[in-house]
Amino acid sequence: MTIDENLLVLLLALLLDRIAGDPQWLWTRVPHPVVMFGAAISYADRQLNPASLTGSQRRMNGIAAILALLLLAVAAGFVFNRFFALFGLVGILLETGLVAIFLAQKSLADHVAAVAVALRDEGLAGGRSAVSRIVGRDPETLDEPAVCRAAIESLAENFSDGVVAPALWYVVLGLPGLFAYKMLNTADSMIGHKSEKYIDFGWAAARLDDVANWPAARLSILLIAAGAWIRRGTSAGREAIRVAMRDGALHRSPNSGRPEAAMAGALNVQLAGPRIYGGVIVREPMINDTGRDVATSGDIEDGVSVFYASCMVLAGVTFGLFLCFL
């Protein structure tokens, strides 16, 4: 496909995902593509990451594994692209549906909004249970403001790597680029940890994921600022950019801190700070330490509102670019 066709498909996919999200009735009957990516990654892990290897051997195997997985993803994307090209308009609609599967607008917003609902209806225990479905930190260590911060952080981070990054890589490289990005992002979430088992084997996946997410994380700042301006006014939009520029690099990730800082500025709330993963305290500075130090369920709802407005801006930009390339 040409770039104008990619832009058209992306625009339609953004609209479809915003309306339909991830239909559970479908994924209970057929495997989600990301599940299939995960199965390929697990197979590589079992075959190439035995405990008997040295660290350097694991690192070399990890490099070989992620390159092979990316090659497989690119090949699959190319095959689907060529197949859809055989069917003209119907092929464009089929590709739209496939691209929508890899976007996470409605599903992400629904999961995050569920945390606010659970806090109101079921109290702290319900909030902890709901937030445990979207973050990796120990839920039993979280008080109510920490549950709210965790939900907002997940919303901002996943806006970048669950919406903006796949959209960007699809526009630039089509289905091969989209498939490769999702394979890489899935590999990072599965093997890109700094645990004894994966610190070497997952090194290449983690580093490549950082590179792949670099542009989307910066673009997310502008989109969140635009969404904040639409929902919360000019001041919130300015604060989103100001805090992102000042505090975006405080996060241990070279990318996650950017959208998180933008959302913190948009909502005037503190995010990040010390937290516990697997019983281990991760000490990080607070993002937007001049903001409110107590996040609430209302802040989660405001964050979802900003998120949806940011997605709307992304769709608007896509439409504008499509018109430019006509």
| CA–CA separation, 134 and 154 (whole Å) | 7
* Selection from 253, 74, 27 nearest residue 176 by Cα: 74
Rounding to the nearest 10 degrees, give the CA dihedral for residues 277, 157, 272, 313: -160
* Selection from 214, 310, 294 nearest residue 262 by Cα: 310
For 218, the token pair is: 């910066």
pLDDT tens-digit profile, the chain (326 residues): 788 899 999 999 999 999 998 887 777 888 889 999 999 999 999 999 999 999 999 999 999 999 999 999 999 999 999 999 999 999 999 999 999 999 999 999 999 999 999 999 999 999 999 999 998 777 888 899 999 999 999 999 999 999 999 999 999 999 999 999 999 999 999 999 888 899 999 999 999 999 999 999 999 999 999 999 999 999 999 999 999 999 999 888 899 999 999 999 999 999 987 776 665 666 788 999 999 999 999 999 999 999 999 999 999 999 999 999 88
The per-residue DSSP string of 137-180 comes to: S-GGG--HHHHHHHHHHHHHHHHIIIIIHHHHHHHHHHHHHHHH
| CA–CA separation, 7 and 151 (whole Å) | 31
Residue numbers of the domain that contains 184: 1-323
Question: Any bridge partners for residue 282, and if so which?
Answer: 275
Write down the pLDDT at residue 139.
82
pLDDT tens-digit profile of 1-56? Answer: 788 899 999 999 999 999 998 887 777 888 889 999 999 999 999 999 999 999 99
| CA–CA separation, 18 and 228 (whole Å) | 19
* Selection from 125, 152, 153 nearest residue 139 by Cα: 125
Tally of structural domains, the chain: 1
Write down the pLDDT at residue 2.
86
Q: Which residue has the tokens 């976007």?
A: 103
Write down the pLDDT at residue 281.
66
pLDDT tens-digit profile of 248-280? Answer: 998 888 999 999 999 999 999 999 877 766 656
For 32, the token pair is: 């989600």
| CA–CA separation, 126 and 115 (whole Å) | 8
